[in-house]
Amino acid sequence: MTDTRFDPSTADGRWQSAWDAAGTFVADSNSAKPKSYILEMFPYPSGRIHMGHVRNYTMGDVLARYKKMRGYEVLHPMGWDAFGMPAENAAMEKKVHPGEWTRANIAGMKAQLQRIGFALDWTREFATCDPEYYGHEQALFLDMFAAGLVYRRSSEVNWDPVDMTVLANEQVIDGKGWRSGAAVEKRKLDQWFLKITDFAQDLLSGLDALKDWPEKVRLMQENWIGKSQGLEFSFELSNGEKLPVYTTRPDTIFGASFCAIAADHPIAQGLAGDNAVAAFIEQCKRGGTTAAELETAEKLGFDTGITARHPFTGAALPVFIANFVLMDYGTGAVMGVPGHDQRDFEFATKYALPIRRVVASDPSQAEAPMGDAAEAGDGVIVNSGFLDGKSVEDAKAEVIARAENGGWGQGKTVWRLRDWGVSRQRYWGTPIPFIHCLNENGACGIVPVPKDQLPVTLPEDVDFEVPGNPLERHPTWKHTTCPQCGSEARRETDTLDTFTNSSWYFLRFASQPADRPFDPDEIAKWMPVQHYIGGIEHAILHLLYARFWTRALAHIGKFDVKEPFAALFTQGMVTHETYSLGDGSWLSPDEVRKDGADWVAIEDGAPVMAGRVTKMSKSKKNVVDPDAIMADYGADAVRWFMLSDSPPERDLPWSASGIEGCGRFVQRLWRLFQQLDPSATGEDKALARKAHQTIVAAAQDIEALGFNKAVARIYELTGATEKAAPSASRNFAITTLMHLVSPMMPHLAEEAWAQAGNSGLIADAPWPEHDPAMLVEDEVTIAVQHMGKLRDTLTAPKGASKETLEALALASENVQRSIDGAAIRKVIVVPDRLVNIVT
RNA sequence: GCGGGUGUGGCGGAAUGGUAGACGCCGGGGACUUAAAAUCCCCUGAGCUUUGCUCGUGCGGGUUCGAGUCCCGCCACCCGCACCA
């Protein structure tokens, strides 16, 4: 027996080369095996792989390797979400071309991923900034245009004054740009849009079928799509105009006591000549939009003096300009029903408007006084003329029917989801393949680039000396001729939102013909993705856009796939301790030590405060570099750490002692693997049984993505095997362990496999078979309780009769002492588990 | 405010209504060693009058022979959304 250590610094690279040379992880779409497409969200090539990537990709890797062992042909690809603003920022700061910067990052990060030994099919690698990729994207965009799913319109856009670009609604957070953090301004620009709203209902309905998506993500998408059903109708105003409003509660229409319009509503704007009105509008716009501000913001209104005629009662309702009404939802105007809407209630209270009950728990409560809040709940309609006695549901239908018959309103579904503005005034993105014809007769207008002229490639010679779009000011790039009439023309200089790139990349991984974006037959073989793994931060944007593109492409006949991702898993973050000096500066966890109960800086003994355990970030100096860890412990220890302890959907706290423990376990397994003893004979039934049980349990755990549980079981089997005396069973347990850890610690497993004299790669070996007969214990431990409290345990043969167990239990000294002569009223026996004696 | 999640030892966490704390980390003790590293063994929820007993899964109730698990009512923290009519 040797006492050599496993040396990852040589072994890791050796096996990575072996897999590479053998093409072990190259997916064969012509294979007769069942297919399994395992995908992790591809990274943005920002510079370095971080621990979050390592965790994400390790989970996917274990699944991919496991599926391969179970006889699947596995597609597990990797590529680069390579367009985006950081590349342009780098270009501005470091005077490097965005493409050069991106390519260098990709090379570095690819080497890092390879160093970790991921089972990836690198033959399918691409970056979204490859002209080949974005050329196909342009073709798909033109197809969608031809199908009426792309349009152009002038619209008020969210303009980020720092990044000098347009942001989608989704990219505006609390009125600030999601990336720059600058306050977003409104500007009118001609923009390209994708008609995601055409699919609003389908995207919503489709969520129900996504059983293997987290409930949380489905809810977030549901809320984002934001379907509401109600009535749109117009009030006749005292000034002769009409005021369209939208309500989801037409049943409460008799409770309306005022109308409120947004500050930027046309009627309000029409009154802005009045100084008082103008001042009020200005005041509304100043209000903050953060959660805290909105919660505490007082409801403010300005009585316009105009009144609105109630469609049923004819009552004259005052029309207010109000700060809580939004112009961009519904019609920008509401009917105020204070009794049954909290905002309206607050407003009515402030301005002494009538608060009328029109819904009650039952008709006898019609005159019950209102409390100090609106009642939004269900009930029966009261004080509402012909609606009295109806349920809320029936009353809604009745009012909508009357409005439609009377021609003054109609039932309407309103969506929160808006069409997706994809124009970006940036260089580093997919050029939008259109040409603006400058012919003076204007007949051509905006013309699609003919497909045989794709890709429209980005110019290489660009400068980033001034903010704004380098394509716009490039000396020659935008000048071209009209494909239709041949006259002078100008290229579209907007590029596509980078979320477009990630909306179909999974299709290109599955199939990459040179002349088309993808081949439908190949798509049919691999799609949908069986397991999609990534961060929760993409719960709305990326996942909704990808679902939309898949539907849109299916809609125009590209293939027959509806949902791109059959199962979604959102993994937790990798976190680490933080230590602050109290002045806003931070120390890295390896720069501090514990001094009694306190933390101090190692360097100068200065007192340090332990902060929260948070996501690794440069600003808090709690980042751990994967390369450094791999240099110390090897890839397998890091992979093992990523899978251990924390359930994968929760955060994983990094710790130095934790990785050390993983490093120790790698060596412990290595020592055990060397104890295979061909001369050993004889059966160790208990150990063999444990090995068979672990084969089954670990498989179940991996399939449920319960990696931490699979890890715990492997620890248990390892411990039991170590303790066992040499036997044929022990050899079996050792070989079993080699297989069970091979998806998780593939380098160690290969090394041990080869050292044990096996030919071929363990990566190609199947998951071990289990013997069902060996799963059953022949002896079980029975818990013995008195009044539900544990008093003793006893060993009995599996399947012992109730009578036997009861007798054994009553024979226990501890039990008899506890019973203390009391009369036994009942004995509950759960076969093979417990006996509970009730007195 | 609405929606969702989480709450179990010093820490990460296990546990089809049936022996709470598997497994890992930390810590303590011991073996080996001149010594250290490495490795191995033992202990490790709290308390007590210690063959054993009591308490213990955020808090308060309930259902049950039996509750971390089911039901009702709270609390705390985290995440998402938001004056969405």
Three-state SS string over A477-536 comes to: CCEEECCCCCCEEEECCCEECHHHHCCCHHHHHHCCCCCCCCCHHHHHHHCCECEEEEEH
Using C1' positions and the CA of A781, the closest nucleotide is B19
**Mean pLDDT score of chain A, rounded to an integer?**
90
A375 CA to B70 C1' in angstroms comes to 32
- pLDDT at residue A295, as a whole number: 47
Amino acid in position A228: S
A4 CA to B25 C1' in angstroms comes to 26
Which residues, 6 or more positions from A509, have their beta carbon under 8 angstroms from its beta carbon?
A39, A75, A77, A79, A124
**Do residues A139 and A454 lie in contact, with contact meaning Cβ atoms separated by under 8 Å?**
yes
In this structure, what are the phi and psi dihedrals at residue A475, rounded to the nearest 5 degrees?
A: -65, -30
A651 CA to B5 C1' in angstroms comes to 13
Q: Which bin fits A240, alpha (ψ -120 to 50), beta or left (φ > 0)?
A: left
**Number of neighbours of residue A767 by Cβ within 10 angstroms:** 20
Closest alpha carbon to A417 in A208, A156, A200: A200
Using C1' positions and the CA of A661, the closest nucleotide is B25
- pLDDT at residue A169, as a whole number: 62
- pLDDT at residue A12, as a whole number: 96
Virtual torsion, Cα A785, A786, A788, A791, nearest 10 deg:
-50
- pLDDT at residue A369, as a whole number: 82
A708 CA to B19 C1' in angstroms comes to 23
Using C1' positions and the CA of A795, the closest nucleotide is B19
Residue for token pair 């008082």: A276
**Closest protein CA to C1' of nucleotide B1, residue:** A295
Spatial strand order of the sheet with A185-194 comes to A165-167, A150-160, A185-194, A420-421
**Closest protein CA to C1' of nucleotide B83, residue:** A324
Using C1' positions and the CA of A337, the closest nucleotide is B85
CA distance A701 to A713: 9
- pLDDT at residue A292, as a whole number: 40
Using C1' positions and the CA of A837, the closest nucleotide is B65
A129 CA to B54 C1' in angstroms comes to 69
Using C1' positions and the CA of A341, the closest nucleotide is B85
**Closest protein CA to C1' of nucleotide B6, residue:** A650
A220 CA to B6 C1' in angstroms comes to 18
Using C1' positions and the CA of A662, the closest nucleotide is B24
- pLDDT at residue A286, as a whole number: 64
A777 CA to B36 C1' in angstroms comes to 46
Using C1' positions and the CA of A5, the closest nucleotide is B38
Protein-proximal positions, strand B, CB < 7 A: 1, 3-5, 11-16, 18-20, 22-26, 38-41, 52-55, 65-67, 79-85
Closest alpha carbon to A812 in A781, A785, A778: A785
Sign of CA dihedral A499, A505, A507, A513: positive
- pLDDT at residue A463, as a whole number: 85
A598 CA to B28 C1' in angstroms comes to 22
A651 CA to B7 C1' in angstroms comes to 15
Which pTM was predicted? 0.91
A723 CA to B41 C1' in angstroms comes to 12
A499 CA to B3 C1' in angstroms comes to 26
A70 CA to B34 C1' in angstroms comes to 54
Which residues does chain A have with pLDDT short of 70?
A: 1-3, 168-175, 178-179, 285-297, 596
**Closest protein CA to C1' of nucleotide B24, residue:** A645
A686 CA to B30 C1' in angstroms comes to 29
Using C1' positions and the CA of A614, the closest nucleotide is B78
Q: How many residues does chain A have?
A: 839
A242 CA to B4 C1' in angstroms comes to 41
**Closest protein CA to C1' of nucleotide B80, residue:** A220
- pLDDT at residue A293, as a whole number: 47
Using C1' positions and the CA of A817, the closest nucleotide is B52
CA distance A185 to A204: 31
In this structure, what are the phi and psi dihedrals at residue A115, rounded to the nearest 5 degrees?
A: -65, -25
A749 CA to B61 C1' in angstroms comes to 54
**Closest protein CA to C1' of nucleotide B3, residue:** A219
**Closest protein CA to C1' of nucleotide B19, residue:** A783
| Residue A206 parent element (H or E) | helix A200-206
Using C1' positions and the CA of A650, the closest nucleotide is B6
CA distance A685 to A688: 5
Virtual torsion, Cα A477, A480, A482, A486, nearest 10 deg:
-170
